[in-house]
Amino acid sequence: MRLSELRGKEIVDINDGIKIGVLDECELVFDDTSGSIHSILIPNRNALSHFIGSNRAISIPWESVQKISNELIIINSYKYKDNSE
């Protein structure tokens, strides 16, 4: 699968059905040695974070991706890592 085929897909958590983001708004983090995808970084887009200047992102490990369909990327992730810097 090509990166261009992933663009525009919604990322949804299978545990609670919440839409986490759209891959266009996200960044893929690659492993330097293997070239494989390590995780997906999703910027925090809530209004409060904009006003307080928080630069937080949700990091979703690639291993938590359960299925990639025509419109969705379904993940199973109870633990998101906060990247607060």
One pLDDT digit (tens) per residue for the chain, 85 residues: 777 888 899 989 998 898 888 887 778 899 999 999 898 887 766 544 444 455 677 788 989 999 999 999 999 876 554 444 4
Fold of 3-84: SH3 type barrels. (2.30.30)
Q: What's the number of CA atoms in the CB half-sphere (13 Å) around residue 33? A: 0
Give the separation between CA 56 and CA 62, rounded to whole angstroms.
19
Residue 25: per-residue pLDDT: 72
Q: What is the pTM (predicted TM-score) of this model?
A: 0.68
End-to-end CA distance of the chain: 31
